[in-house]
Amino acid sequence: MPVEKMMTRTIEAHYDYVVSIRFQNSGRSYTFGTSLANLKTGDKVVVETSQGIELGVCQSGSTPSDIYPVPKSPLMPVLRKADQEDLADYAENLEYAKDAFAVCEEEIQALGLGMRLLSAEYMLDRSKILFVYQADQRVDFRELLKILGSRLHCRIELRQIGERDKAKMVGGIGLCGMECCCARFKTRMDVISINMAKNQLLALNTEKLSGMCGKLMCCLKYEDANYKELTAGLPKMGAHVEYEGTMYRVTSMNVMTNEARLENSESYEVISIDDLREKTVVRKGVAVGRKTPQRGAKQTHIAPGVRNVHEERGSFSASESEKSRGISAESKDTSHQNNADLKLRNEHRSRPNTQKKEAQARPNNRKENGNRRSSNNNNNRRRETPRRTADTNNPNVTVRSFKSSKTRAEEAAKGAQ
């Protein structure tokens, strides 16, 4: 029968009953159609799947398809209820799978492939074997498929899984002391992001937030919705807020104990989460002094730990702590100095062209003066430095003269006179 007709028959097939079936290495149940009305929970049946013929266990009895919601995908059929022969073949396949696992692992080491083999499973009719492996990168296993096909004489399928799926297969004990959620009850892996840890106001320490698989723990997903609701309308951590006329910085929040801590350079306040949400106002453009300023940062005297960076002229006021140090509002107003600096810049820009030419000529004059000064220094140095005279009486010294012939002749004539 053509493939198109087989697919049409599968889609158009109507089953009187549906049943939920779970397989050995799967954590979730799948729905199959059947015409058997006497299936019960725990019965072993032979079903047809996209992988091939497999043996599964019923998780529910036969349910009439009229009261069962119609799934989006077509249902695969239950072929029959498993008999003793099917159970014997299944037990025999487990032994064959161990031998196939050893063969595959041997070939992986021989080829030097970067993959870790996890399991091997035969289909019930032994027409296909499925190998599950884990790898950090993509693996070229084409040569491995050829070798396994010649040694095992069946269809070969290699499936790569991630760290979470591996933890689900292997299992283990989590940090809470209980069995891993993925191996105990989870049927699908949720997407876990670091934003969930930020919503719960946790310290962003990957070692404490990671599970056995090395990924973020699945339990971060469970309380994410509740924390989003509890932290709605609250300022962010480190925000500058005004509370009862004083500026603070939010240093810690704990929605479980209903407490929040506000600090500035002089004091701190511990208030409730409701007061933080209702009685505080977030102020942007405000610098709040800390008790321990950062190294290299410019320390400013602010009171009580606050200075508005957008203050206008005439709005300066000295606090009590500044008055005790002798600081007044007039000393804080430095706007007249800024105006004087601006006036000097404008005068410098409006200089006439003659001054610019003189400024350009100055470097050349300075260069000439420097050259003259250096030449005079060299002449003085030559005059002060005594000339070395050769010791002509020493027999070990050879004196060579580089005088011209005319000069030597004049010296010889003078010597003769």
Q: What pLDDT, on the 0 to 100 scale, is given for residue 11?
A: 42
Query: What's the mean pLDDT in 15-37?
Result: 85
Distance, CA of 79 to CA of 278 (rounded, Å): 65
Determine the Cα–Cα distance for residues 357 and 365; give it in Å rounded to an integer: 12
Across the range 376-382, mean pLDDT stands at 54
Residues in contact with 2: Cβ distance below 8 Å, sequence separation at least 6, in sequence order: none
Give the Cα separation of 101 and 133 in Å (integer): 11
Stretch 92-113: mean pLDDT, rounded?
A: 92
Helix or strand run (H / E) with residue 286? strand 286-288
Once rounded to an integer, what is the mean pLDDT over residues 360-380? 54
356-369: average pLDDT: 52
The DSSP annotation for 59-125 comes to: SS--EETTSSPPPSSPPEEEEEE--HHHHHHHHHHHHHHHHHHHHHHHHHHHHT---EEEEEEE-TT
As a whole number, the mean pLDDT across the chain is: 76
State the Cα angle at 200 between 195 and 202, rounded to 5°.
Answer: 90
* Confidence grade of residue 155 (pLDDT, cut at 50, 70, 90): very high
Of 55-59, 116-120, 277-281, 376-380, the one with minimum mean pLDDT is 376-380
pLDDT of residue 98: 92
**pLDDT band per the 50, 70, 90 thresholds, residue 370:** low
* Cβ atoms 31, 71 nearer than 8 A: yes
Q: What is the DSSP string of 233-265?
A: TPPPTT-EEEETTEEEEEEEEETTTTEEEEE-S
Written as one letter, the residue type at 262 is: L
> Where along the chain do its domains lie?
3-82, 89-161, 194-230, 240-293+300-308
Q: Are strands 116-122 and 128-134 parallel, antiparallel or unpaired?
A: antiparallel
89-161 placed in CATH 3.40.630.10: no
What pLDDT was estimated at residue 131? 93
Q: Between the CA of residue 261 and those of 266, 268, 271, what are the distances in Å?
A: 14, 7, 6
Give Cα 232 to chain centroid, integer Å. Answer: 26
- Tokens 């007044």: give the residue: 328
What is the structure's pLDDT at 2? 42
pLDDT grade for 91, boundaries at 50, 70 and 90: very high
Q: Cα torsion for 298, 299, 301, 305, to the nearest 10°?
A: 110
Question: Is the Cβ–Cβ distance between 226 and 67 less than 8 Å?
Answer: no
Helix%, strand%, coil% for the chain, nearest 5 = 35, 20, 40
- Weakest-pLDDT range from 15-24, 112-121, 125-134, 358-367: 358-367
Residue that wins the pLDDT comparison between 296 and 60:
60
Give me 189's structure tokens.
Answer: 């892996």
Could you give phi then psi for residue 334, rounded to 5 degrees?
-110, 20
Task: Give CA–CA dist 231/249, Å, rounded.
Answer: 17
pLDDT-derived band of residue 7, with 50, 70 and 90 as boundaries?
Answer: very low
Q: Which tops the pLDDT comparison, 269 or 8? A: 269
Q: How high is the pLDDT of residue 56? A: 92
Q: What is the mean pLDDT of residues 186-211?
A: 84
- Give residue 358's pLDDT: 54
Report the distance separating Cα 15 and Cα 105, nearest Å.
43
